Structure 1
Amino acid sequence: MADTTEEQTEERRGATGSVQSVDRAVSVLEILARLGEAGVTEIADELGVHKSTAFRLLGVLENRGLVDQERERGKYYLGAGVLRLAGAAANRLDISQEGAPVCRSLAGDTGETANIAVLDADAAVNIMQARGAAAVTAYNWLGRRTPLHATASGKVLLAHLPKERQDGLLSRKLARFTEHTITTAADVRSQLQTAAERGFAYAYEELEIGLNAVAAPVRLHDGAVIGAIGVSGPAYRMARGRLPELAERSAKAAEELSRRMGYAG
């Protein structure tokens, strides 16, 4: 019984020490965010710990890329790893918030229904929608999951996936929705290559008869594609001849939203 009690006491001490170390490491990041840069002595004073403790914390953070050191003066500053973590949080938090005004502006500029879509496993899901003056339909795309191979947004998202994942999705049977739906992997790959090169994708009545769409990629600070923004509308109004113009406007909207997401271009 005594041995068990001693073990539990040691576990509690270990847990307390681990939590304290995590708390101090986070405090180091907050100090550097506030000061911009700081030396070991300055950080130790801020934390109220010995220099050796501050040095160990900085070493761990440096190994993980969260802080870096200016070699000449020995000062520490936030590393690129912090941007990586911030970018991961931005994936979910910012695209809806930052995308709302861009989506409304695109709808107002084109007169059509504008949408922002993100990847959801094997489909594109629409997370933002705005209707332009010419959008007479009351159809709501918000929250709807749509196939990647038969939609403009889906093609954009699919075109920028890693090859292994792209191949896995295209190895499945591709559903046919209309007579215009492309259902062979080779033909879809050809469209994806074109979309990646041009910076936008089209869909000609591939999901529904009488419905056309264009979309362009939205990027994070590191260039990774996180979503697609574009417009859709009836084929009689969004005829093939008009799609290049709408694609250009969608691409400009995508650039604006990407800039808001931290992408420098």
Structure 2
Amino acid sequence: MPDGSSTDEVPETPDLTNKSVIKATVLLSELGRHRSGITVTELAQRVGMTRPTAFRLLLSLEQTGFVERTDSKYTLGWEIARLGRLADPYRGIIARVQPTLDTLATQLNETIGYAVVNGETDFDLVAEAAGSRMLTVSQPYVGQEYPLHASATGKMLLAELPDERLEALLPEKLPALTRYTITDRAELLRALHETKELSYTTMDNEVEEGLFAVAVAVRDEAARLIGVISANGPSERMKSGRLPYMVERLQRAAGTIATNLTQGPSPR
């Protein structure tokens, strides 16, 4: 062309997103962190909006049942609860954690699992990724239940609890799954204290002979335990000097997962 401009320029894709909808979801995400309620002024400050914008969106959300207001404080509404019951609780989580699990499985060449923490003693293994070794953990463990005292993930949950709670929760004599299972409550408490110091936990032939696992915590912005990521494999291979490297990689992956799960949409 005479003016020297290129004819290969690709036109910009128009932004079809609705900014008001995005801002509304930001408000809902933040409201979920304040179960006892929060004022519009506090909410606006936390998400980086002007107070009039936040108030206008909250008013609309209140009319449709997504938000409730008591006096001057706002909370999530009944419509959020209704829709939540209809949704798959783990579908969105799996999509956000699976790429990290796949990458880690390739790096460590072992089976990687991710468990969602539902309560102080309740967790669900929801996602896995496997390495390429011929000798590996080939049995699918997603959806299965595991004893708290004999699994790496379970011990990570127990390590969050004070000794008084553990003594009330656990019997003095715990059931043995293998000859290596920790069956003495006092011994288990000592192991849990070590977990707190090391920031990881292991399962050494305790739930199944020949199987070793190492796990680290996934925490949200408030340092609350929201999940556990673990590496599993044959004990002989897992214990051959690789543990520090595996822990370091697991901790990196835990940080990535925490960001992916807790990072809300931008209000801008």
Q: With the length of structure 1 as denominator, give the TM-score of the two structures.
A: 0.64
- Tell me what 1:60 maps to: 72
- Tell me what 1:37 maps to: 50
- Tell me what 1:105 maps to: 103
Q: Which amino acid aligns with 1:217?
A: A
Q: Report 1:1-265 matches (<5 A).
A: 36-39=49-52, 59-61=71-73, 92=89, 95-119=93-117, 122=121, 124-134=123-133, 136-137=135-136, 138-161=138-161, 165-171=165-171, 173-262=173-262
User: Which whole-Å CA distance do the structure 1 matches of 2:192 and 2:47 have between them?
Assistant: 45
* Shift of residue 153, structure 1, vs aligned partner: 1.3
Q: Which amino acid aligns with 1:60?
A: S
| Inter-CA distance 132–34: structure 2 relative to 1 (3 Å threshold) | closer
| Inter-CA distance 37–232: structure 2 relative to 1 (3 Å threshold) | same
Q: With the length of structure 2 as denominator, give the TM-score of the two structures.
A: 0.63
Q: Which amino acid aligns with 1:227?
A: G
- More helix per residue: 1
Contact 1:199/1:251 (<8 A) preserved: no
* Shift of residue 125, structure 1, vs aligned partner: 3.0
* Shift of residue 243, structure 1, vs aligned partner: 2.1
Q: Which amino acid aligns with 1:219?
A: R
Structure 1: segments with no counterpart, 5+ residues? 1-24, 49-56, 67-80
Q: Identity across aligned pairs (percent)?
A: 31
Query: How many residues are aligned here?
Result: 202
Q: Which amino acid aligns with 1:215?
A: A
- Tell me what 2:29 maps to: none
| Inter-CA distance 238–135: structure 2 relative to 1 (3 Å threshold) | farther
Q: Which amino acid aligns with 2:49?
A: G
| Inter-CA distance 135–261: structure 2 relative to 1 (3 Å threshold) | farther
Q: Which amino acid aligns with 1:37?
A: T
Contact 2:110/2:133 (<8 A) preserved: yes
User: Which whole-Å CA distance do the structure 2 matches of 1:244 and 1:173 have between them?
Assistant: 31
* Shift of residue 196, structure 1, vs aligned partner: 1.6
Contact 1:111/1:135 (<8 A) preserved: no
User: Which whole-Å CA distance do the structure 1 matches of 2:155 and 2:261 have between them?
Assistant: 21
* Shift of residue 262, structure 1, vs aligned partner: 2.8
User: Which whole-Å CA distance do the structure 2 matches of 1:119 and 1:167 have between them?
Assistant: 21
User: Which whole-Å CA distance do the structure 2 matches of 1:146 and 1:235 have between them?
Assistant: 18
User: Which whole-Å CA distance do the structure 2 matches of 1:155 and 1:240 have between them?
Assistant: 22
Contact 1:230/1:250 (<8 A) preserved: yes
**Superposition RMSD in Å:** 3.7
